[in-house]
Structure 1
Amino acid sequence: MDARAVRDRASDLPTEPGVYQFLADEQVLYVGKAVDIRDRVRSYADPRSRRIERMVDRADAIDVAVTDTETQALLLEANMIKRHQPRYNVRLKDDKSYPLVQLTDHPVPRIEITRDPDEGATVYGPYTSRSRLETVVKGLREIYGVRGCSDHKYANRDRPCLDYEVGICTAPCTGEISEAAYAEDVTATQRFFEGEIGVLATPLRRSMEQAAESREFERAANLRDRLQTVEAFHGDSGAAVASEESGGERLLDVLGVAIEGEEATVARLHSDGGQLVDRDRHTLAAPDSGPDQIARVLSAFVPQYYAERELPDALVLPEHLDDQELAAWLDAEDVAVRVPGAGREATLVDLALKNARRGTDGRDEVGALAAALDIDRPTRIEGFDVSHAQGNEAVGSNVTFVDGSRESSDYRRKRLNGGNDDYANMRSLVEWRASRAVEGCDDRPDPDLLVIDGGEGQLSAARAALDAIDWDIPTIAIAKDEELVITPERTHDWPDDAPQLHLVQRVRDEAHRFALQYHQTLRDEVSTALDGIDGIGPETRKRLLGRFGSVKGVRGASRDELLSVEGVGEGTVTLLEEQL
């Protein structure tokens, strides 16, 4: 396109906020955001750099999408850059994006949160907080019963599923509601996402008031919290509200940038409560050279990286951002942005810069693992472990690493029913993950490698699960005692200082930690059931759990078995029988 063609196309464009795309043969070359689409696109008639001039010369069309707010335009731009990886944008080379909500293009639509909407779907978003979005979608399903199941599960049912039993679906699959009535509920759901808060807020407020009148204070408090989330939802297109935490800044991210040739590296140091707890590196395509090159890298990195990640209380940067819309968004999120000149934070920026230049210990662990296993580079790795206490309360963990760093927003956990059979539990856990992926119920991208905590038995169980679901993902196991890495073909005994071994160990250890944490949470939840019984003190509770292992064990014990526990008399047994 020449300058005249750009001006002619711009004259037809809206003056509202939104996102624009330069296209060549329907391929996306460049994505940008604007407060005024017409003015911004018109400026490309006189490109600011040689790189952008080349892009405009190649382009043969311009497409736009209008948004309600500037913040929404910023988020949509980050989503589209990640989805299309346009050649002329500064791109963060990972696969995270902001969540969207879609109502599918079916006679009986389903609602779901997704990063990659279906063709023809009605799509709302993007939103910055997945947790708030999940609260809203769950509330809508409880009130309007819109289905969330996959088409595979919806088809050929002869009775409603569990969603109907727990009240979050009206079961159109079996005719429990007519298609006409269901369509009205879908329309109400659409009205909420189009800005009509009362569609959800009014019934929530009514339920909250009824719970308070019935003295169900815990339920009333839960409904109050959900109501606050709903009422704040459209305040800034789903962007996070101001932090309610007190006590100053707890979470601090420090960024350093190094540019070499056509690539830029951003190193992030993460501090929690004054302690440096994590560091990672990310690669982007470098923008054109110039005095503001680092600022442009930072302005591209921040919105793309923090898609679905928790924003810190403060960002410490080597240079000021060059994007006023991004700065306004961070300010609205209550994120302090600083460029220190001296002191401890300046030292941290220097450290981040060294990490950007050298990498973590100067070694590419992900590349080393790919070479050692003779597989494609495993950018996304998922780890699995199971935990139980003498067969009670078995749980499974599923953790995710991206480019060798923890991706905690993609962690999942599950209660299991395999007792103390570690192999059965592992098969159940991996089968659960695989089936969700195949059925399209898991919004995470497929991993490049699975790491199983255990030996040959656990690996065989995991592979049996993958075969049963027909989910073809490379899978390895790491045994704890000798730190051997086991594949279906052979066993690797790597040196203790091998970078690929360190990465596999980190994944294994994190899966183990997350499983134990969940197991302890369940044990804590179990103990509260006994704590709620007046007349049973902490020592008696401790003896009961020590003897029978869990509340389930206490419930199943005979009267004589209960009486055999020190400190338990007839009165205590009666209390247990009546209240447990």
Structure 2
Amino acid sequence: MNAETVRERARSLPREPGVYQFRADEVTVYVGKAVDLRDRVHSYADPRSARIRRMVDRADDIEIAVTDTETQALLLEANLIKRHQPRYNVRLKDDKSYPMVQLTDHAAPRIEITRDPNESATVFGPYTDKGRVETVVKALRETYGVRGCSDHKYSGRDRPCLDYEMGLCTAPCTREIGLESYGEDVTVVERFLEGETGILADPLRREMEDAAQDKNFERAANVRDRLESVEAFHGEGGEAVQSVGHERAVDVLGVAIEGEDATVARLRAEDGKLIERDRHRVEAPAPDRETERVSSVLAAFLVQYYAERDLPDALLLPERHGDEEVAGWLETEGVDVRVPGAGREAKLVDLALKNARRNVGGRDECGMLADALGLESAARLEGFDVSHAQGKSAVGSNVTFVDGNAEKADYRRKKLTDQNDDYDNMRALLEWRARRAVEGRDDRPDPDLLVIDGGAGQLEAARDALAEVGWDVPAIALAKAEELVITPDREYSWPSDAPHLHLLQRVRDESHRFAVQYHQTIRDEVKTVLDDVPGVGPETRKQLLGRFGSVENVREASLEDLRSVAGVGEKTAETIKTRL
């Protein structure tokens, strides 16, 4: 689009607030807000920087949306940037992949780590270190006995499960502990998650000291490691938080930039307690002047992040964001924005900056993969593999990675018709996935790329299925022998240390692991030595394996334990003991 075309388009626009989109080949490449749409769009006839000039040259159309107020334009801009992820805008990555801890809204609440919390649950987080969260949640369960089992496993029990025997749960399901006492333990767990580290750290420290006195040094070292995770869970800055202003909720932001990658770290303090800390990746194209980089990232983050969230009472920033429209919006919403220079508030900003610098400059594997394959995006990948034993117990796996991380909530698996043909099995698996997507029966968004475990034959089978169903999603294969990336047009042999190859390998290996795991489960379900025991049919076998977990545990069970299983009488129990 040349300068005259931009001027001509601008002359037809109203002098009202709104949002404009530069588009190229029906794809939005830039979104902007304006107090006066005509003047703002007209300014692009003479772009201020080479980057914006490239954007205008590429664009072939301009779309506008008029709003009633400048604030509406501000929020509409944020939503459009999130929806279209334009190449030339500062873009905030979605933070949904961060783990959180929830205590469910039950008479006997359970504790669990989740990325998709229930609306009725009490939720803490998000957190950035999943391994540390898992360590802390296990320590909480060992110390206070809060259950982690599903509702299905919890209901209808007449005896405690293995978690009770292992000291991970006090078994409210069978009233080994009363609900009132159990509720008191849950309250203590809530207090820890709200910031009272000593509630868990103190008993762990005593346990470590006792183990050391008993010369059980291995146990003491294990508890010491858990104690370190617990003490680091809420991080530093507590002293500073206790004296943050008079506001109830305060958010503190820190920004670190390297190249076109930025990280914004956010700390949330409520009622003098540091209750949340998270980090967000931001893609930040270089502005006109280097001195504007942090301010432009801050301005974009503030609108995109808080457009769909409650604003705090105050914001502490490392420097001014420099956007008058953003400033007007925050002032209208009653948010006090401060840039502290010294004192306790400055200490909190420094802490946020430290958090941001921990993550900046991370390799953008997804972006590198998209560039290497000529895709618009490779943020959401799905991997596929099949597994069977000479055609028996055939299954397929479908794993999902988002922004380079496994999204296990979006894993799926499929039993396949038994046949000793990897190509037909892959074709059946991809046809199943494609039909569910096309017919709207799969609640997951369409991926950017499908990764097939195998070679050219598996890829051809997968693409046949996609074509037959009419699901237009690009697919590639990754062959194990030489780690060749196979596309419909060519093969790539990338360096072994290429980050985007490592990403594909993780997806491929995870789909393989998930397929083999499911195949082993199906295979074990199909045939066990229990099938040869008189009086043990499929339902009794299922009850036995569900109660004891494995054939080996059934073999070790006493006659009394065997008779406690539904469908197993005294004679059958004796037969099981004799045969096994």
TM-score by length of 2: 0.43
TM-score by length of 1: 0.43
